[in-house]
């Protein structure tokens, strides 16, 4: 059992859940089977985060670029998301976790949006934990949307250009007021951040594991957090 320092648990963990397709291919299965197996990892990681008091968990569930995948796979992913929300929302209630979404959720099929909004509304009063799903999300698009909103305020005379600061941009992102991730985990061994939380990851500690997402479980999460606890976060300074 990995021993963690309770005083140094990251407040916010973000995860790029990669490797579902490879997991399925390695077993001679269609890609959707990998996504189905990955849903179990979501449940396990959510429970593990609550157990060790990680307050915020952000999961890169579906990027804006994922829409170009084959239509049957996209359709299967949407069906899987809808089923997960319908059948597993009790996990959020059991752990008193609030669900929120970042990204262009309006791009999702109507039935998925309906289920998503239901769970968001039902969990809105929870404060013990926060689960963010990045859906139809892209980091560059998020920053572009923020810049566009700021430009509109300048045009309307509500904001002076000289008054625009980093805090101004942060306040116009999809989830203002949320602490930036302390730790970003990527599964499957890929060494890139894939347009995920480009603004928010500026000072996050990055952890990459070769474990494919469907195989990622509590011990893997604890191993990542243990590695995080052995690092010294300098934020540009000298310590």
Active site residues per annotation: 18, 66
Identify which of 192, 69, 59, 199 has the alpha carbon closest to the alpha carbon of residue 140: 199
Q: How many whole angstroms separate alpha carbon 44 and alpha carbon 213?
A: 11
Neighbours of 216 (CB within 10 A): 25
- Dihedral sign, Cα of residue 87, residue 97, residue 65, residue 32: negative
Identify which of 55, 65, 95 has the alpha carbon closest to the alpha carbon of residue 179: 55
Q: Are 25 and 219 in contact (CB under 8 A)?
A: no
Angle between the N-to-C axes of helices 71-95 and 110-122, in degrees from 0 to 180, rounded to the nearest 10: 10
């Amino acid at each position: 059992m990995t021993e963690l320092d309770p005083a140094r648990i990251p407040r916010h963990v973000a995860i790029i859940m990669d490797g579902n397709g490879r997991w399925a291919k390695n077993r001679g299965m269609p890609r959707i089977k990998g996504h189905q197996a990955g849903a179990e990892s979501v449940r396990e990681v959510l429970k593990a985060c609550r157990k060790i008091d990680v307050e915020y968990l952000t999961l890169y569930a579906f990027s804006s670029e994922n829409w170009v995948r084959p239509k049957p796979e996209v359709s299967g992913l949407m069906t899987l998301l809808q089923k997960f929300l319908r059948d597993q929302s009790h996990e959020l209630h059991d752990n008193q976790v609030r669900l929120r979404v970042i990204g262009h959720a309006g791009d999702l099929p109507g039935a998925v949006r309906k289920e998503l909004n239901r769970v968001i509304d039902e969990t809105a009063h929870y404060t013990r934990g926060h689960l963010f799903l990045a859906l139809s999300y892209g980091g560059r698009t998020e920053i572009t949307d923020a810049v566009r909103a700021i430009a509109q305020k300048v045009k309307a005379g509500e904001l002076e250009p000289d008054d625009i600061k980093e805090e101004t941009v942060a306040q116009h992102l999809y989830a203002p007021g949320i602490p930036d991730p302390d730790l970003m985990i990527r599964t499957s061994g890929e060494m890139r951040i894939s347009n995920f939380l480009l603004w928010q990851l500026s000072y996050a500690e990055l952890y990459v594991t070769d474990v494919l997402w469907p195989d990622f479980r509590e011990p893997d999460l604890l191993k990542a957090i243990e590695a995080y606890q052995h690092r010294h976060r300098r934020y540009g300074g000298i310590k």
